[in-house]
């Protein structure tokens, strides 16, 4: 709980309830440890009997009573040292991990300890360039751990991608496969946008362009007659981004259409869908979360996946 | 306790004086008098053997490592030739069930054998009592010393006792942590102040607990804290072996001169020497009948036999017997509850031995990628991705082959002759994909079985099932 969030009412509510409870417990212990008139003598039967089992008035050991008092003393000391009484923060100044805005919170301290331990490792790796780091087994292992933690949710644990998330192992790079391009993709993220051409091309036009796209990838299921019709339309609507030869344009994130590698599926139906409705892909930026050094190591791992 | 027990109990040993305003009893220190005799020798032997095992075991070596080592950071629990992994933890549950049933079995058969001879509380208390006697003498001297003013002798004796206790307790704490952290390395590190925070904490905590429990809490642990002491009566019946005073023979009790005909004077065999009360480590009078405070240590049996010998009476006024035997009925050893506990125990033990011996030295776990249902490949096939975890519990590296079965037409991303090397005692994980023609699938989700097999050792294999997910048609 954040101390700034607590109103005066709740502050006093907590303080009074807590202290009243402790006082109540103290009173209860005192009250129950008094002998009451009419009580039977110690060691004799109380007269309570259940199925022949009779209850005796046997005393508890006195150290047991001391343990009760000890819990009261413990709770009072705790409430003085640590936050517990409403807005009172405790004289030790301890903060729980949730208080990210507080300098010396437990969370910050743990993060700092981790940083002190790992920073030199990452710093040493960040001194090498991505291409040579991709040859270093330790760096690739570390990079893979980062990958599994931050990237595999979308790109898959084998980095083979998924529908809408590119395959990182086939050597086809939507935004460029150079170390710098990969690092930029991770650090700053990417936004790809393909508009829909369903209205401009019409149903027939979409079919023709789709067959032409299949043909560029050398696919056997492309109909050459339809593809020929499609080529003109491709040149008119698509080549501006994807290039006249379908080679793609890394600067725009327009994928190459000649590799038979598909982010949104390579079936005829999926390609027609893509042309009709367009696609919008987003890769989030990770530099703020991971820091430059980790992004560097991660880039080396991704670069090492390129089969060339 | 059962009806017969509670109704026979006459008074509590705790006196009521000076407690007018408190219903909590001040602790009365118990000074058990030293006993000699058959059962005392048995108890000391049990103590020496059990303490010997506890203190000696961590020093035993086995194939270049500590024979019994619970390696928490590595998650490996070595017990001589066996190594247990976290996956084997269910065996511990089985072991604990066996331990509980063993306790039930022996309780039904022979009463509180565990409490009297084997319980750590008894064993360490016995050791601490012995040290106490070295410094303070036997019961009368101890009582006198505690009443005496704090003079030079008292300070020296008390200091000596506590120093001996503290050293013994510290050794106990060190040994305890020595089961988790190699002991030959731990002890020098402890004395050069090089132990880690948790090691230091547990050494000191365990030492403190030993010192407190065996030095001060003693019988109060049995009487107020131990759950077994409270529920053991549920396992008792009239044929359970107990320690009992022969009331018929002993009463009426009373002092007498040696050699007179006490029967003519109307006296029983009990001479009211109260030695049975003086030797009792829990401070009860066995002549009051069976009480839950009685831990069955048989100190009263030994001391009473000694007195009977001196008086020229037959032994066994206080003896191991059963309620039925006391009542003159025939004793029955094989009762339904003994047979039931015994059978259950045998079945569970057999299961445990089977469980330990049938553990596979290799293992495979399959985790399907959860984020992607399936992946479409350019050629129209669908692909599923799995993370495999291969476990090699051997002490040397093993080469594994992976294969799949159970799904017609599925193809594993694996070449003939491929293998994965897993180093000794490690788990490695790697992704692997399975692809197939979606038109061969019979449903959206099908079972697929992964098998890991050690190359050229078909008997060392392990399989796991998972799901293959494809499009809904």
Q: How confident is the model at residue B213 (pLDDT cuts 50, 70, 90)?
A: very high
Nearest to B27 among A61, A152, A262 (CB): A61
Strand partners, B421: B399
Residue of B nearest to A161 (CA): B375
Residue B407 gets which letter from DSSP?
S
* CA dihedral sign of residues B167, B170, B176, B181: negative
B374, with CB counted inside 10 A (0-12, 13-18, 19+), is buried
CA distance to partner chain A, nearest, from residue B91 (Å): 32
Q: Is B22's CB within 8 Å of A33's CB?
A: yes
* Prediction ipTM score: 0.72
Q: Is A163's CB within 8 Å of B375's CB?
A: yes
Q: How confident is the model at residue B74 (pLDDT cuts 50, 70, 90)?
A: confident
Tokens of B262: 């006490």
Residue A257: CB partners within 8 Å, gap ≥ 6?
A213, A216, A217, A242, A246, A247, A248
Q: Is A59's CB within 8 Å of B19's CB?
A: yes
- Predicted local confidence at residue A100, as pLDDT: 53
Q: Is A42's CB within 8 Å of B12's CB?
A: yes
Looking at per-residue pLDDT, the higher value among A141 and B333 belongs to: A141
- Predicted local confidence at residue B14, as pLDDT: 44
Does position B129 have pLDDT exceeding 90, yes or no? Answer: yes
- Predicted local confidence at residue A59, as pLDDT: 77
What DSSP string runs through B71-102? ETTTTEEEETTEEE-GGGHHHHHHHHHHHHHH
Q: pLDDT tens across B291-346, in order?
A: 888 999 999 999 999 999 999 899 999 999 998 888 888 878 888 889 999 999 99
CA distance to partner chain A, nearest, from residue B378 (Å): 5
Q: pLDDT tens across B1-54, in order?
A: 333 344 334 444 444 444 444 567 777 889 999 999 999 999 999 999 999 999
Place of tokens 């006459």: B10
- Predicted local confidence at residue A108, as pLDDT: 78
Q: How confident is the model at residue B175 (pLDDT cuts 50, 70, 90)?
A: very high
- Predicted local confidence at residue B2, as pLDDT: 39
Average pLDDT, chain A: 89
- Predicted local confidence at residue B110, as pLDDT: 86
For residue A266, list chain B residues with Cβ-Cβ distance below 8 A: 376-380
Q: How confident is the model at residue B348 (pLDDT cuts 50, 70, 90)?
A: very high
Mean pLDDT of B425-437: 91
- Predicted local confidence at residue B94, as pLDDT: 92
For residue A41, list chain B residues with Cβ-Cβ distance below 8 A: 16
Does position B358 have pLDDT exceeding 90, yes or no? Answer: no
Place of tokens 């290799």: B362
Contact B207, B170 (CB under 8 A): yes
Does position A216 have pLDDT exceeding 90, yes or no? Answer: yes
Does position A99 have pLDDT exceeding 90, yes or no? Answer: no
For residue A52, list chain B residues with Cβ-Cβ distance below 8 A: 3
Does position A217 have pLDDT exceeding 60, yes or no? Answer: yes
Q: Is A43's CB within 8 Å of B11's CB?
A: yes
Q: How confident is the model at residue B235 (pLDDT cuts 50, 70, 90)?
A: confident
pLDDT-above-90 percentage for chain B: 59
Contact B316, B306 (CB under 8 A): no
Q: How confident is the model at residue B266 (pLDDT cuts 50, 70, 90)?
A: confident
- Predicted local confidence at residue A120, as pLDDT: 93
What is this structure's pTM?
0.74
Looking at per-residue pLDDT, the higher value among B336 and A96 belongs to: B336
Angstrom distances, CA of residue B293 to CA of B4, B50, B128, B213, B224: 15, 23, 20, 17, 9
Q: pLDDT tens across B97-108, in order?
A: 999 999 999 998
Q: How confident is the model at residue B387 (pLDDT cuts 50, 70, 90)?
A: very high
Q: pLDDT tens across B271-284, in order?
A: 999 999 999 999 99
Residue of A nearest to B373 (CA): A162
- Predicted local confidence at residue B23, as pLDDT: 63
Query: Pairing between strand B426-436 and A279-283?
Result: unpaired
Q: Is A156's CB within 8 Å of B25's CB?
A: no
What DSSP string runs through B21-63? S-SEEPPPPP-PPP--SHHHHHHHHHHHHHHHHHHHGGG-EET
Mean pLDDT of B166-190: 95
Q: pLDDT tens across A48-57, in order?
A: 888 877 888 7
- Predicted local confidence at residue B134, as pLDDT: 94
Mean pLDDT of A167-176: 93
Residue among A38, A56, A36, A58 nearest B16 (CA): A58
Lowest pLDDT segment from A101-110, A291-300, B373-382, B418-427: A101-110
């Amino acid at each position: 709980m954040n101390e700034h969030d607590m109103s005066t009412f709740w502050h006093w509510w907590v303080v009074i309830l807590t202290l009243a409870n402790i006082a109540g417990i103290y009173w209860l212990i005192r009250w129950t440890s008094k002998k009451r008139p009419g009580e039977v003598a110690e060691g004799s039967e109380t007269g309570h009997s259940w199925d022949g089992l009779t209850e005796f008035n046997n005393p508890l050991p006195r150290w047991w009573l001391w343990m009760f008092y000890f819990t009261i003393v413990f709770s009072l000391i705790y409430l003085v040292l640590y936050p517990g009484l409403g807005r009172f923060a405790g004289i030790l100044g301890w903060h729980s991990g949730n208080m990210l805005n507080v300098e010396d919170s437990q969370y910050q301290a743990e993060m700092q300890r981790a940083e002190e331990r790992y920073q030199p490792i990452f710093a040493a790796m960040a001194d090498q360039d991505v291409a040579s780091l991709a040859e270093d087994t330790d760096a690739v292992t570390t990079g893979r751990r980062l990958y599994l933690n931050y990237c595999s949710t979308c790109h898959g644990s084998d980095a083979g991608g998924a529908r809408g998330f590119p395959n990182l192992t086939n050597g086809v790079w939507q935004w460029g496969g150079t170390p710098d391009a990969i690092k930029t993709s991770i650090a700053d993220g990417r936004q790809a946008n393909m508009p829909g051409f369903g209205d401009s091309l019409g149903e027939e036009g979409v079919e023709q362009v789709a067959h032409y796209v299949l043909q560029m990838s050398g696919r056997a299921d492309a109909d050459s007659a339809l593809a020929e019709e499609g080529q003109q339309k491709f040149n008119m609507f698509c080549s501006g981004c994807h290039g006249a030869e379908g080679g793609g344009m890394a600067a725009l994130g327009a994928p190459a259409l000649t590799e038979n590698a598909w982010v949104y599926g390579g079936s005829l139906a999926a390609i027609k869908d893509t042309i009709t409705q367009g696609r919008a892909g987003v890769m989030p930026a990770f530099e703020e979360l991971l820091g430059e050094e980790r992004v560097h190591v991660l880039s080396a791992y991704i670069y090492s996946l390129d089969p060339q | 306790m059962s009806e017969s027990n509670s109704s026979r109990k006459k008074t509590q040993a705790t006196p009521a004086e000076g407690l007018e305003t408190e219903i909590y009893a001040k602790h009365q220190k118990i000074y058990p008098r030293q006993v000699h005799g058959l059962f005392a020798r048995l108890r000391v032997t049990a103590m020496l053997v059990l303490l010997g095992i506890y203190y000696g075991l961590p020093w035993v070596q086995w194939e270049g490592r500590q024979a019994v080592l619970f390696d928490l950071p590595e998650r490996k629990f070595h017990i001589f030739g066996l190594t247990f992994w976290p996956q084997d933890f269910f065996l511990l549950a089985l072991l604990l069930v066996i331990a509980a049933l063993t306790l039930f079995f022996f309780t039904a058969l022979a009463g509180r054998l565990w409490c009297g001879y084997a319980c750590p509380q008894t064993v360490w208390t016995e050791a601490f009592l012995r040290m106490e006697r070295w410094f303070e003498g036997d019961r009368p001297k101890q009582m006198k010393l505690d009443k005496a003013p704090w003079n030079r002798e008292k300070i020296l004796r008390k200091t000596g006792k506590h120093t001996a206790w503290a050293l013994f307790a510290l050794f106990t704490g060190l040994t305890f942590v020595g089961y988790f952290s190699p002991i030959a390395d731990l002890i020098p590190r402890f004395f050069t102040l090089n132990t880690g925070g948790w090691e230091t904490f547990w050494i000191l905590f365990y030492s403190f607990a030993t010192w407190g429990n065996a030095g001060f809490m003693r019988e109060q642990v049995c009487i107020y804290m131990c759950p077994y002491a409270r529920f053991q009566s549920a396992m008792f019946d009239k044929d359970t072996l107990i320690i009992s005073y022969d009331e018929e023979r002993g009463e009426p009790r009373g002092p007498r001169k040696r050699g007179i005909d006490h029967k003519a004077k109307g006296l029983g065999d009990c001479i009211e020497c109260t030695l049975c009360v003086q030797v009792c480590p829990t401070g009860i009078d066995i002549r009051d009948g069976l009480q839950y405070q009685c831990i069955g240590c048989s100190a009263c049996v030994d001391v009473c036999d000694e007195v009977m010998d001196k008086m020229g009476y037959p032994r066994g006024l206080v003896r191991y017997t059963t309620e039925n035997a006391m009542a003159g009925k025939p004793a029955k050893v094989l009762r339904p509850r003994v047979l039931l506990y015994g059978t259950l125990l045998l079945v569970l033990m057999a299961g445990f031995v089977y469980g330990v011996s049938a553990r596979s030295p290799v293992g495979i776990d399959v985790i399907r990628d959860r984020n992607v249902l399936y992946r479409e490949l350019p050629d129209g096939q669908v692909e599923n991705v799995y993370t495999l975890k291969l476990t090699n519990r051997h002490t040397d590296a093993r080469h594994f082959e992976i294969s799949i079965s159970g799904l017609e037409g599925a193809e594993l991303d694996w070449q003939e002759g491929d293998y994965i090397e897993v180093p000794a005692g490690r788990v490695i994980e790697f992704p692997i994909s399975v692809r197939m023609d979606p038109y061969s699938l019979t449903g959206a989700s099908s079972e697929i079985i992964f098998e890991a097999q050690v190359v050229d050792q078909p008997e060392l294999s392990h399989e796991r099932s998972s799901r293959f997910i494809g499009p809904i048609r």
